């Protein structure tokens, strides 16, 4: 198979930039909501941040599973097995809807969950409210993930760019109206922020469907084959669930770190961490987008039986991500005080937040290694062992180690738990690099996973 006509960097960025926009859209919505809520004091944005990351943990399990739609569609696309592309799209949509419904009962536990964190009562009540509302749109966000990953797999990334920009813009407008009560709307506070996010996510899905399921795409890539197919669903679950567990474990560990470990250091530390975390999440989500593009490219070149090009694209993705993350780190360190002051004028919170931004700059360099190479491994279908290693490290080193430092080593100060988190990040990042360069992924063949190659119907056009 000849090399693609585009230069490698253009090929990567052509997929990555729209993907970055989609991956960053959810966190961009949370950033906007946090900033708008900060007009009401420190407690509402802190509550939204703590609740948002906890609500994202179960959602991350579904999203991590559904990014494998990218892997399966990309490999089918690389083999020119276009009928299979649409079949995997719909297995992803069905799984998204089933999982979204399964998450709804968690809403009833919100009050008990946040009460056990021993946060101030007013803050815990806000956290529970935000959690209940955001989970209502879980199925919508997951369906948008499935459709977006399908778009990447068939090399139609611009739909993600347009849908994400529209979704974030509508979220910002809605939050401005119903959080603060502008333009004649009632001021709903933190409940308004949650509803605004749900509105933005729903608009994003609607635009994705409109742009992705056009006539040519429907016919060429079998996009209306909505039948539930057990062989394809089994493959999606078998390869996707380890990836989903990896995402879930990562996000849940961070939610425990933010809600419990940092909570041991007091309300000001939680507020400072919440404000810093908004910058950290927004900055590394583009790295997640580049990683997702690497997933698509690795899958595509494996489908074309070119593992050498798959490896080159992965290393190129890390080079691009590394430069970007380094720039973010410099910004965090140099402008750490004014960045926190964007959210609060409280001098003590600003001081702690500035410390946390320095640690974020150190952590994110290692995070670039983890994010990119775990995405590349995902493109090859190597998901189980990385998931086990990541879960083991995040709970033993970051959560348990961070808790121990916060609880028993008070002289370590506000930065103690974050120093432990940086150690965890570097161990995990180096492991993912070594796992990928070790090359075991080259022996994985998903096309032989008990699924026969699809034959296009005789009446189907191009």
Do 96 and 139 meet the contact criterion of CB atoms below 8 Å apart? yes
Half-sphere exposure of 203 (CA within 13 A, CB side): 22
Terminal-to-terminal C-alpha distance of the chain: 21
Residues 414, 340, 398, 281, Cα dihedral to 10°: 180
Sequential DSSP letters for 2-58:
PPPSS-HHHHHHHHHHHHHHHHHHHHHHHHHHHHHHGGG-SHHHHHHHHHHHHHHHH
Question: To which residue do tokens 């380890």 refer?
Answer: 242
Q: Please tell me the distance from the alpha carbon of residue 438 to that of residue 314, in angstroms, as a whole number.
A: 13
Q: Please tell me the distance from the alpha carbon of residue 373 to that of residue 378, in angstroms, as a whole number.
A: 8
Strand, helix or coil for residue 283 = helix
Q: Please tell me the distance from the alpha carbon of residue 365 to that of residue 324, in angstroms, as a whole number.
A: 10
Q: Please tell me the distance from the alpha carbon of residue 180 to that of residue 364, in angstroms, as a whole number.
A: 33
pLDDT value for 149: 84
Strand, helix or coil for residue 461 = coil
Task: Quote the tokens at residue 145.
Answer: 């993930």
Task: Quote the tokens at residue 180.
Answer: 């603060």
Do 160 and 18 meet the contact criterion of CB atoms below 8 Å apart? yes
Residues 252, 258, 261, 262, Cα dihedral to 10°: 170
Q: Please tell me the distance from the alpha carbon of residue 150 to that of residue 411, in angstroms, as a whole number.
A: 50
Q: Please tell me the distance from the alpha carbon of residue 218 to that of residue 225, in angstroms, as a whole number.
A: 9
DSSP 8-state class, residue 449 = S
Sequential DSSP letters for 196-237:
HHHHHHHHHHHHHHHHHS-HHHHHHTTTT-----HHHHHHHH
H-only helix segments in 304-380: 307-334, 336-341, 347-379
Distance of CA 80 to the CA centre of its chain: 29
DSSP 8-state class, residue 450 = S
Strand, helix or coil for residue 187 = coil
Residue 411, C-beta contacts closer than 8 angstroms, at least 6 positions apart: none
Do 368 and 429 meet the contact criterion of CB atoms below 8 Å apart? yes
Tell me the angle at which helices 416-438 and 384-393 cross, rounded to the nearest 10 degrees. 160
Strand, helix or coil for residue 456 = coil
Q: Please tell me the distance from the alpha carbon of residue 279 to that of residue 328, in angstroms, as a whole number.
A: 9
pLDDT value for 430: 94
Q: Please tell me the distance from the alpha carbon of residue 89 to that of residue 144, in angstroms, as a whole number.
A: 11
pLDDT value for 393: 92
Do 20 and 285 meet the contact criterion of CB atoms below 8 Å apart? yes
Please report, for residues 85, 231, 461, the alpha-carbon distance to residue 456 in angstroms, rounded to integers and kept in the order given: 11, 17, 9
Question: To which residue do tokens 């529209």 refer?
Answer: 166
pLDDT digits (tens), the chain, 462 positions? 444 446 888 888 777 776 676 666 666 777 777 788 888 888 888 888 888 888 888 888 988 889 888 878 887 887 888 878 888 888 999 999 999 999 999 898 888 888 888 888 888 899 999 999 999 999 999 999 898 888 877 877 777 778 888 888 898 899 889 988 888 888 898 999 899 989 998 998 999 888 877 777 777 777 777 888 888 888 888 888 888 888 888 888 888 898 889 989 988 999 999 889 888 887 877 888 788 788 878 888 888 888 888 899 999 999 999 999 999 999 999 999 999 998 888 999 999 999 999 999 999 888 889 989 988 998 888 878 888 898 899 999 999 999 999 999 988 888 999 999 999 999 999 999 999 999 888 877 765 554 444 433 333 333
Please report, for residues 271, 284, 457, the alpha-carbon distance to residue 347 in angstroms, rounded to integers and kept in the order given: 12, 27, 67
Sequential DSSP letters for 69-106:
HHHHHHHHHHTT-HHHHHHHHHHHHHHHHHHHHHHGGG
């Amino acid at each position: 198979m000849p090399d693609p006509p585009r230069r490698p960097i253009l090929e990567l960025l052509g997929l990555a930039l729209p993907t970055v926009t989609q991956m960053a859209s959810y966190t961009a919505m949370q950033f906007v909501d946090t900033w708008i809520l900060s007009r009401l004091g420190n407690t509402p944005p802190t509550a939204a941040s703590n609740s948002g990351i906890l609500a994202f943990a179960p959602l991350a399990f579904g999203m991590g599973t559904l990014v494998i739609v990218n892997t399966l569609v990309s490999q089918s696309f690389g083999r020119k097995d276009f009928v299979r592309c649409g079949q995997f799209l719909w297995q992803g949509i069905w799984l998204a809807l089933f999982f979204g419904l399964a998450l709804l009962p968690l809403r009833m536990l919100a009050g008990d969950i946040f009460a056990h964190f021993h946060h101030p009562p007013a803050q815990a009540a806000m956290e529970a409210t935000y959690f209940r509302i955001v989970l209502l749109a879980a199925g919508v966000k997951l369906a948008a993930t499935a459709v977006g990953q399908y778009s990447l797999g068939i090399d139609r990334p611009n739909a993600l760019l347009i849908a994400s920009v529209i979704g974030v813009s509508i979220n910002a407008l809605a939050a401005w109206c119903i959080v603060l009560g502008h333009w004649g709307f009632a001021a709903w506070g933190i409940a308004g922020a949650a509803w605004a996010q749900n509105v933005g996510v729903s608009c994003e899905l609607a635009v994705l469907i409109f742009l992705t399921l056009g006539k040519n795409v429907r016919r060429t890539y079998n996009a209306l084959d909505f039948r539930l197919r057990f062989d394809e669903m089994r493959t999606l679950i078998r390869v996707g669930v380890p990836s989903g567990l990896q995402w879930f474990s990562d996000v849940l560990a961070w939610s425990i770190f933010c809600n419990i470990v940092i909570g041991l250091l007091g309300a000001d530390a939680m507020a400072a961490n919440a404000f810093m975390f908004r910058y950290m999440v927004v900055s590394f989500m583009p790295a997640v987008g580049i990683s997702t593009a690497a997933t698509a490219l690795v899958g595509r070149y494996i489908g074309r039986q070119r593992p050498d090009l798959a490896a080159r694209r992965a290393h190129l993705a890390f080079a691009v991500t590394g430069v970007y993350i380094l720039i973010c780190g410099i910004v965090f360190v140099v402008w750490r005080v004014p960045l926190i002051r964007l959210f609060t004028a409280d001098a003590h919170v600003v001081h702690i937040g500035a410390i946390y931004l320095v640690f974020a700059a150190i952590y994110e360099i290692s995070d670039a290694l983890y994010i990119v190479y775990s995405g590349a491994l995902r493109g090859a279908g190597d998901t189980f062992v990385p998931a086990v290693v990541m879960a083991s490290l995040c709970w033993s080193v970051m959560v348990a180690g961070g808790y121990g430092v916060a609880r028993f080593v008070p002289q370590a100060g506000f930065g103690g738990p974050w120093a432990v988190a940086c150690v965890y990040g570097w161990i995990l990042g180096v492991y993912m690099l070594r796992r990928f360069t070790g090359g075991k992924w080259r022996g994985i063949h998903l096309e032989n996973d008990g699924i026969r190659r699809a034959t296009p119907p005789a009446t189907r056009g191009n």
